[in-house]
Structure 1
């Protein structure tokens, strides 16, 4: 069973190990430390512990840490929007965990924040992530052609969107 749980320092070392994987970092922002060290995890966890309402969670599958998911709240004219980001540790790929974590985080976000729209950007090569979003009724809104440079390659950024129920 997939669950979302608050950050606990006891998981920082394991989190850092999973996060410090080139197959994970190739799908994320360059601002994420690389290599990802225990100090980076400790800093992240300390920022998240006690935040209410929480904007990020650890993902567990059958009581085993297997990833992270969260939102970034937008501001100004985009204040009713949140951006979704997540990763699943490589040993857990292909088990439907991302699909379930996205469902849980989407429900939580709409219930706990004044948000009507959740956006998720996915690099062109990450077809599994696109499939997980699609299974959660996220709609491909646009493809930002050649909008991202990652690992010296210029690639497309697929923008997926889910609107809160009742918003047309």
Structure 2
């Protein structure tokens, strides 16, 4: 599967992506606003582990963000269980060298459209730490709406902060 953006390609992960994935993910600024499960430092073994988790996934829910023939980021829909089974979470990160170029809002929009067109879902949700206004702006540019703020519900790096809840619905992206 391949989706072309104006400055990038969204595509399935491949085993030979591990070196570029590791190179771009191994920056302490990348996981600053991600869940603690994202390794830091990010080793080649971490890249290989992630690729092996997602490589044969059907349907595809994790996309490499390819720029200049390298995996410069990942964007994915994380499916949950039980009553949340049709409300996946949007997650993404991008190599610092590509920040501020409009890549992420376009990638989020493309993956959101893919989700509504190819997956059995009712909405796509995203949770953003209160200290990350740039990610909030990415979601807003991609058509997501802030639904609320969960006060003092997450802790990252020893700091307790708010979590902002964003949602996209199929009718808003047609």
- TM-score scaled by length of structure 2: 0.90
Q: 1:89: which partner in 2?
A: 95
Contact kept, 8 Å, 2:149 with 2:162, in 1: the verdict is yes
Aligned residues: 167
Summarize deviations over 1:88-135 as a string: whole Å, max 9, x none. Answer: 110000000101110111011111211011001111121111111101
Q: 2:57: which partner in 1?
A: 51
Q: 1:5: which partner in 2?
A: 11
Q: 1:38: which partner in 2?
A: 44
Distance 1:61 1:14, change over 3 A: closer
| Aligned with residue 145 of structure 1, among 132, 141, 151 | 151
Runs of 4+ in 1 over 3 A off after TM superposition: 61-64
Distance 2:29 2:142 in 1: 24
Summarize deviations over 1:24-76 as a string: whole Å, max 9, x none. Answer: 11111111222211001101111211211111010123544321000111221
CA RMSD of aligned residues (A): 1.6
| Aligned with residue 28 of structure 1, among 31, 34, 37 | 34
- Runs of 5+ in structure 2 lacking a partner? 1-6
- Runs of 5+ in structure 1 lacking a partner? none
